[in-house]
Amino acid sequence: MDRPTIISTDSVRRSNVARTPPGQTLTTKWPVLHYGQPKVPEVDPHSPDWSLKIFGLCDNPLTLSYADILAMPAVDVVCDMHCVTHWSRLDNRFTGVPIRDILELAKPQAGAKFVMCHAEWGFTVNVPLHEFVRDDCLLAYAWDGKPLTPEHGYPLRGLVPKLYLWKSCKWLRAIELRATDAPGFWEQNGYHMHGDPWAEERFGW
């Protein structure tokens, strides 16, 4: 059975120019950018040591294995990617589980307004909850029909296409539901708390 496909609203059939935010240059490559460690983490998601946790302001905290995630109904999302370093790549096809479906299982409390994504090596990313659960947001494990490479976030990446790509957390290990916002790794180092490509929210609060 074919997976449902969600076409992100930024990927509707318009000209490439109309789909490219200000200050961006189109590329057909997917550049590799990360910070702080000499190489990407070596992760075995099938190990009993690997899990994805959802915790914080929720009534049903979850701990999921990779097998649990792969067993959930998956969708494809076709979206455009925009990096804060000024490149954009159009018409990317990601496969994964809708974040909204996962968080519905966790039952967020009324006071939950933000999430903090926690990844390997202590890396963190903050996102407003209402943007984290849009229809085109995924716990993504494949791109263009193949598993994500380690450089791009294998085994699991929190895809948030409407924001700059650093908000799509690589090597995701936990989702914390919060009442208040707080800066993640890049935000603590001068990047914008929100990160809207169309408003060029690259730096500052």
List pLDDT tens digits, range 109-146.
999 999 999 999 899 999 999 999 999 999 999 999 99
- Is residue 30's pLDDT more than 80? yes
CB atoms within 10 A of CB 146: 8
Of 92, 87, 77, nearest in space to 31 by CA? 87
Give pLDDT, residue 42: 87
Share of the chain above pLDDT 70, in %: 94
Nearest residue to 158 (alpha-carbon basis) of 116, 112, 187: 116
Residue 40, pLDDT score = 82
What per-residue confidence (pLDDT) applies to 184?
A: 97
Span 38-53, pLDDT tens digits: 578 889 999 999 999 9
pTM: 0.94
Q: Alpha carbon of 29 to those of 25, 130, 151: distances in Å? A: 12, 30, 13
Question: Structural domains in the chain?
Answer: 5-31+45-199 (3.90.420.10)
Contact 140, 99 (CB under 8 A): no
Sort strands 87-98 and 25-26 into parallel, antiparallel or unpaired.
parallel
pLDDT in tens, 166-198: 999 999 999 999 999 999 999 999 999 999 999
